[in-house]
Amino acid sequence: MKKVIVIGNGMVGYKFCEKFVASKKYEHYSLTVFGEEPRHAYDRVHLSEYYTGKNSEDLSLSSLQWYTDHNIDLHTSEMITEINRSAKTVSNHRGVKYAYDYLVIATGSSAFVPQIEGIEKEGVFVYRTIEDLEAIESYASKLKSEGKTKAAILGGGLLGLEAANAVKELGLQAHVVEFASKLMPRQLDKGASDMLQATIEELGLTVHLDKQTKNIKGTHAIEGLEYIDHDHLLVDMLVISAGIRPRDEIAKHSGLAIGPRGGIIVDNKMKTSDDCIYAIGEVALYNNMIYGLVAPGYEMANVAVAQITGETDTVMAEDIDMSTQLKLIGTEVASFGNALSTDENIHSIVYENKCKGIYKRINISEDKTKLLGGILIGDSSDYNALFQLYHNNISLPEDPENLILGNREGGDVSPLGNVMDLPNSAQICSCENISKETICTAIQDGTCDTLEDVISCTKAGTGCGGCKPMVKDLVNETLKSLGKEIKDTICEHFDLNRQELFDIIKLKGYRTYDQVLNHYGKGDGCETCKPIIASIMASIYADTANKEEVIQDSNDRFLANIQRNGTYSVVPRIPGGEITPEKLIVLGEIGKKYDLYTKITGGQRIDFFGARLDQLPKIWKELIDHGFESGHAYGKSLRTVKSCVGSTWCRYGMDESVSFAIALENRYKGLRSPHKIKGGVSGCIRECAEARCKDFGVIAVEGGWNLYVCGNGGANPRHAELLAEKIDNENVIKYIDRFLMFYIRTAAPLERTAKWLDNLDGGIEYLKKVVIDDKLGLADELELEMQQLVNHFQCEWTQAIQNEEIMKRFNHFVNSDDTDDSLVFVPLREQKMPQPWQ
């Protein structure tokens, strides 16, 4: 069995492992991987998301178990310090030797640190690893405690701007210092750079161009920067993100050929000057270039695997495409092909809209038949189509300016036309090098039936994600070509999806399940469609769960959450988490009277556990008599709006978060929706209310509130995305009204807002257009519908105890008033719990 050793466990090193285990000849090799960092491979592309709530596990590209399952011997926190080419061994920092037949060097790069006087001072950091981010976060916290707020970022390239946004997220004033006369000088022209600069400065970042730093001022810690033009900038921290340097030291010491400015020289097979050693990723010098993008690194990994296993003779292309599409500080940025050319034989078409922050440029051939490159700022929705025109050398339409101006004669037409017109060889996913043929064949041969199947099977869309819309279009068009209808029906009894049913019920005025089934369904219905239609009716008419047709599940039926021993929990509403001592005493007395297990929930409420079915109405009545009402903890509805104490008490508070949280909770209480909804209001960016993991979250900033939507603290946690900034209370409510009603109208059954946004064509940018810009002309209608629901709110507990028919549900036996005597509890920390299952 031949031994393969990989030095480096970054993104490209991991991709080599992934491609290697997919090889048909993998079983003939043993694979050992060494990584210097204490953790296994993680996603550096989205590193800045570490500051928005993601942890190292969220960023991980796989689990440790994945390495074990594929018989990969992974060594973390272990540095390889020597390569003995004649003996074909490597040695770690402890002197332990490992033999190899093939060696793959994937050591990547380190941050380039310019030779500036004072660079060693305290408060100077690089932006490269999770450990770097942890150190920056810790120092930023220290600065804020001392009342210091300014930080500089050296470098106005892609990583520099990401670092600047990260520093801003930490609550510091971020200053971007760039040596060149424009931002992202390798990707953008002056017009695009100016537009990007204007956009990010509106978000609170300050940009300093044409600045070369001479020295770092300060005695022990940084106090400022001095430039060679004698200008200066007072700052308390410096983050360096000015480029990369290949980590080629170990190769250099072993005698491998190195480029004049660094990097291990490789051929198109990724071979170094030693036939048994390969180099891939940012350490490899190919065509006299270091490629700092993920896609070329992944292709290098694929080529190295093919060469080592001998499965194919795959080689690197002569020309490496450096096209990129990303969202940078909330702004869409893309460039492709020959984007910066000043050749007089190339025609440029430029569209600029300063009001909307949009800049588009395409370069076309002299005969106006071919697209050669382009830049998109503020709106990159056409990037995939434009890239395909460029990459596949497809002839341009008669009016090429329509590619960026749109169809001026009306209609929403893609610049590409039908995606199926692309050649089979068209590269759809550049990160994973997945072609149109691979995606379509996966459907045609029966391997895959859905978009999710294709993504899982081919890996298309799992990199940067920019190709997902085109992947979806290919899947749908291929399914259509096979005669398969693309429809999202709710079940076998209705040939309709939830959105269609919603519209029908609303327009026809149906108030019962049977009416809907008789007119638009078939059969007797099932436990899938009944709750969906119940939810829709509740969302349209504000019907409560006490109406039989609106009962969605067993919890709705009994207005309480059933627990594992057949008892129920009771959760009264405590808006915003604010409660008087008198009401706290009432809750304590009720809990004691009925011998209930009592717990404060994560949503700032008090939960009573262990109530028998027959006790529920009695507990509700006592709660209602003292001013409480149903907290809807059992329903697919608003649960809570969590808050911090805000400016009422907190010395950091920028606004009165408690009052606003109470107002929002009282507005949306009882609102029925496709899934449960939670909100949060934080009085400052310290985010004590965790508003950004909620379905809607509001954070106080200078100038108003920032509104975030579609977060999720559930099975797949994710942070909410910014919908609007610096808006007043009135606009917050207006936008939440529109957002929630649009979600209620269009979401799939049991679809959380986070998943709904993922599936929404255009994502957050499209949602902004609907909610803020009123793109669909629905704003007034959505607000009116929400107000009608607010006006018709009724406490379901109060309804229940006032209705004799409903009260009949709460007897344990149909024909007797006897209670359930089979319940067994055991002690737990001065309270009780159900006896464990045997």
Could you list the residues known to form a binding site, using ranges: 644, 650, 684, 688
Paired tokens of 374: 């382009």
- Residue ranges of the annotated binding site for siroheme are 688
| Burial environment of residue 63 by CB neighbours within 10 A (0 to 12, 13 to 18, 19 or more) | exposed
Q: Which of 606, 574, 571, 624 is nearest to 598 (CA)?
A: 606
- DSSP state letter for 692: G
For 623-761, strand residue ranges (E) read 638-643, 677-682, 696-701, 704-709, 721-727
Asked if 101 contacts 62 with a C-beta cutoff of 8 angstroms, the reply is: no
Paired tokens of 78: 């272990």
Asked if 359 contacts 351 with a C-beta cutoff of 8 angstroms, the reply is: yes
Q: Which of 815, 820, 721, 813 is nearest to 766 (CA)?
A: 721
- Residue ranges of the annotated binding site for [4Fe-4S] cluster are 644, 650, 684, 688
* Runs of H (alpha helix) within 429-580: 436-444, 451-458, 468-481, 498-508, 513-520, 529-541, 554-558
Name the pairing type of β-strands 568-570 and 606-611: antiparallel
Return d(Cα 822, Cα 834) in angstroms, integer. 11
Q: Which of 666, 579, 670 is nearest to 633 (CA)?
A: 670
Asked if 604 contacts 547 with a C-beta cutoff of 8 angstroms, the reply is: no
Return d(Cα 278, Cα 378) in angstroms, integer. 40
Dihedrals φ, ψ of 7, to 5°? -100, 110
Half-sphere exposure of 80 (CA within 13 A, CB side): 32
- Can you spell out the DSSP letters for 764-827? HHHHHHHHTS-TTS-HHHHHHHHHHHHHT---HHHHHHT-HHHHGGG-SBTTB--------EEE
